[in-house]
Chains A and B, each alone.
Chain A
């Protein structure tokens, strides 16, 4: 049985983003695995022990540098990985088709996991498209997954902590949320072991993918200016508190 985990290679959220040509970012910064995908990998590694002969395969669509992210995925528990090498940024519609083609060429999925969203493009949609292309059910923001003989019971977190308890037929696609687990960060032996594991590379151009429904294209990208002018509210605690309440009432007009 195969569990596929879709991971994304994203800029470190602490990195300074520089924009080039008004439409893309300077990629000479630290990239790592999308944080939500760490929950997906950790969950897959845990579920593997419940399934007979299960194998966890990490899949990524990105430039060649994403091999690092796949090494991290393998250090965190994936048995092997597939990198669909793309020489340009592609949108979520095409990414979903590339993931589907790569998974289909590799094996029959029992379960597909992914992070619920990526922290760079924040598109929140690739896993749903992948599920649709496969004809599988999908659930997002999963905070609990229980595998049963013929399905998966997923607790999907909604507004203000409410949850939908869903039963999905298998195979299915599940988007991991922050509350799913605590990511298992690799030890040095894990990292060394991961170096020996396979990263199979496929060229995007060699996969038969197209996106007839349409596309999204970035017209422009501009830095968001930080233009606040901090002013101090002085005085002792009581005076500062009164001034804060005045600001809420008279300036922000929220009271």
Chain B
């Protein structure tokens, strides 16, 4: 039995749904699960975390409540030491990418990011490498073990526990070389690609930035996030934050709808772990047609508005 620390992420003061799958991954073999909550309302999420098997919520206060990458990393390390936690899990989200490697660096501990599975007894992580073409089993050796978990890798499974909340005040760390000047919010209401359940993405076949409005409308009707291929980004039709692929977001939604995307290896590197891939393409010879679950050969400019209409009728 081990004490497992789980770094819990929030968005707009709400606990992120992706945490549930991560907590589920840590269940099993009677490990003791500690949720580590930094500068957030720990009491408010106690019930939700208990429902997935968390037995202690560590309510960490750091740096007067403000966000600071080094300050938070240091506070998590202090809480781990105080609770005797040597294994830490967190999401491979933008925040996790900023924090988990800092924590690993402070502890000089091995870290595997973007894990799709973990064996906490053997300290082995499973993750994809080489653009999703290979699955690696990686042994972590050392006193501490840190895992970044891919959002959506495991479906949440409830397991009742009764978590207690423990307050923890982190000691001010020694001066950091980083000053957080400000945080500029992204576009309101944007669903983050990495954690979206449905993604509708456009490629070369979209022909212009204006035409992405068709996808936006359809996305709104089905609660999806909008993505794009590298071509659409390089053409300047949408910002690079939309890009799915090798050098964009790696996503694994329940459904990925690719519109006018030929399906290059680099694009697949970012979305091949989607549960279901649906292609809409006028070219029956496009690579994606042979590597999807469903395809429609036809004109996306006719089909997508029909989908939006059908969703309206269904909703």
Contact = CB atoms under 8 A, between A and B. Distances in A.
A125 B310 contact: no
Given A224-B134, A240-B296, A13 B179 contact: no
B309 A241 contact: yes
Contact of A162 (B128, B183, B266): B183
A120 B314 contact: no
B190 A93 contact: no
B248 interface: yes
Contacts of A105: none
B88 to A, nearest CB: 13
Interface in A15-70: 16-17, 19, 25, 35-36
A168 B178 contact: yes
B292 to A, nearest CB: 5
Q: Interface of chain A, helix or strand or loop or mixed?
A: mixed
A88 interface: no
A231 B294 contact: yes
B129 A121 contact: yes
B105 A125 contact: yes
Given A125-B105, A161-B186, A232 B178 contact: no
Interface in A231-247: 231-233, 237-238, 240-242, 244-245, 247
A215 B296 contact: no
A238 B302 CA distance: 8
B177 A168 contact: yes
B142 A254 contact: no
A232 B137 contact: no
Given A214-B144, A241-B306, A93 B178 contact: no
- Please tell me the size bucket of the interface on B: 35 or more
Interface string A148-176: 00000101111111111111110010000
Nearest to B107: A213
Interface in A215-255: 215-224, 226, 228-233, 237-238, 240-242, 244-245, 247-249, 251-255
A10 to B, nearest CB: 9
A121 to B, nearest CB: 6
B311 interface: yes
A101 B81 CA distance: 30
A161 B239 contact: yes
9 contacts: A119-B247, A125-B113, A141-B94, A159-B94, A162-B186, A224-B128, A241-B307, A245-B311, A253-B254
